[in-house]
């Protein structure tokens, strides 16, 4: 994801418009990402990965059969 790069360049004084044009990304998704950097789908995927990890924690082969 290039949005953290856009944010870092904006802090350094490079306009978001210019950065998005050079990287060929739209500005609107960038501003949406600023308000909510972790999407609901990413959060659900993280919870599922944690549940899988916890389910196989006691298995010495970590679930490999």
- Give domain limits for the chain: 3-55
pLDDT given at position 64: 63
User: In the prediction, which pLDDT does 54 show?
Assistant: 86
pLDDT along the chain (65 residues), means of 10: 91 96 95 90 94 81 63
Q: Please enumerate, as own/partner, the contacts of 4-9 that have beta carbons within 8 Å and a separation of 24 or more.
A: 6/30, 7/34
What pLDDT does 59 receive? Answer: 73
- Geometric angle at alpha carbon 38, from 19 and 53, rounded to 5°: 130
Q: What is the model's pLDDT at position 63?
A: 58
Contacts of 33 by beta carbon, 8 Å cutoff, 6+ apart:
1, 3
Taking the alpha carbons of 39, 36, 4, 26 in that order, is the dihedral positive or negative?
A: positive
């Amino acid at each position: 994801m290039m949005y953290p790069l856009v944010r870092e360049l904006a802090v350094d004084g490079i306009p978001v418009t210019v950065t998005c044009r050079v990287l060929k990304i739209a500005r609107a998704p960038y501003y949406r990402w600023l308000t909510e950097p972790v999407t609901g789908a990413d959060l659900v995927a993280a919870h599922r990965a944690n549940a899988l990890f916890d389910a196989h924690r006691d298995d010495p082969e970590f679930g490999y059969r």
